[in-house]
Amino acid sequence: MIISAQNECMRNRFGERRSLEMMKEAGFTGLDFTVDLMDDFDEVVMGPGAMKKAAEIRDLTADVGIPIVGAHAPFEFRSGMAMDESELKFRRLVRAIEFAGACGAPLIVTHALKLPQEEWLDDVEEEQKRTFDLNIKWYGILEPYARTAGIRIAVENLCTLDRNGALSTRLLGDAKSYTAMLDALDPAVFTGCFDVGHAHLSTHDAPSFIREAGKYIHFLHIHDNNGKTDAHLMPAFRELEAPSKSKSYTIRWKEVAEALRDIRYDGPFNYEITTWYRTFSDALLPEALALSVKAAEPMMRIIEGKE
């Protein structure tokens, strides 16, 4: 099983080659290219030399021996903005799709859109229908960019708030709406990214979400939270050994691993914990990377059916 993580912290501190070497030395066998968090995004992705730079990165990952297994697009675009290149935030997103494809990424996570706040409803099902229609249009507009770039768009389950500020399933936050969206899209261009933390926030039952979504899940965002805030914490994998009593780390990781095993998940084990990596000094960051790889091993053994 490939183990990967976001490269943002390492790349922004140490540059292209050294960041790849650090991840490989720590035991990672893939990387999640956080295009959205590049410090030099405007210079590199939006600049005239973007495709040349992307080709250099593709060659560099091959040389170091650590492939890009996924990427993440900027998510600053909002419904109500022009869905064309007259809008800067749209241009930034589609240039990211093109750049990731040229880097060799097989997929790029691209967020769905939520309705403008003035259109939020008390009726969850009706709002989900309207959100579905909005995103059929949205992903339809992005589809030709992905086809041309030779990359798949990964649709992610998200968590949002309702009119009263409560956590909600409105934005592909339950298995029914998530799989319905993927069913409506061309699987040659679209695939599914399952965010464990988001599912915990929106349903408080990530294992059931996994079992219901099953075949639609081909990529993971793995991080922990308290069921109230999208904190992107390093997972408390001690829960694999004994039930956690922590109020900060509340995801049931053993059940998550067993659910992934039961659906025969065969994609990467992909961390989304860049905020955790940022807390370490340059000197300690290599140790933190190695520790996160080591911490994932029991979870991966369960997913692979080895325990």
| Strand order from edge to edge, sheet including 31-33 | 31-33, 68-72, 107-109, 152-156, 190-195, 219-221
Spatial CA neighbour of 138 closest among 73, 42, 70: 73
pLDDT tens digits along 242-277: 887 889 999 999 999 999 999 999 999 999 999 999
Check residues 45 and 167 and name the one with the higher pLDDT: 45
Tokens found for residue 36? 């959205």
Residue 121 C-alpha from the chain's centroid? 27
Average pLDDT of the segment spanning 19-46 = 98
Q: Are strands 219-221 and 107-109 parallel, antiparallel or unpaired?
A: unpaired
Task: Tell me what pLDDT residue 216 has.
Answer: 98
Q: pLDDT confidence of 73, banded at 50, 70, 90? A: very high
Tally Cβ neighbours within 10 Å of residue 305.
10
pLDDT above 90 for 307:
no
Average pLDDT of the segment spanning 53-73 = 98
Average pLDDT of the segment spanning 15-23 = 98
pLDDT above 90 for 297:
yes
Spatial CA neighbour of 239 closest among 226, 228, 223, 255: 255
Task: Tell me what pLDDT residue 118 has.
Answer: 85
Task: Tell me what pLDDT residue 244 has.
Answer: 79
Average pLDDT of the segment spanning 10-15 = 98
Q: What mean pLDDT is reported for the chain?
A: 96
pLDDT tens digits along 104-140: 999 999 999 999 888 888 888 888 899 999 999 999 9
pLDDT above 80 for 21:
yes
What percent of the chain is predicted at pLDDT more than 70? 100
Burial class (CB in 10 A: 0-12, 13-18, 19+), 95: buried
CA distances from 104 to 14, 54, 56, 98, 266 (A): 21, 8, 11, 10, 20
Task: Tell me what pLDDT residue 39 has.
Answer: 97
Domains recognised in the chain with CATH numbers: 3-303 (3.20.20.150)
What percent of the chain is predicted at pLDDT more than 90? 89
Task: Tell me what pLDDT residue 168 has.
Answer: 86
Task: Tell me what pLDDT residue 131 has.
Answer: 94
The Cα 138–Cα 135 span in angstroms is 5
Task: Tell me what pLDDT residue 243 has.
Answer: 80
pLDDT tens digits along 200-230: 999 999 999 999 999 999 999 999 999 999 9
Task: Tell me what pLDDT residue 242 has.
Answer: 82
Token match 């369960």: residue?
302
Average pLDDT of the segment spanning 41-49 = 98
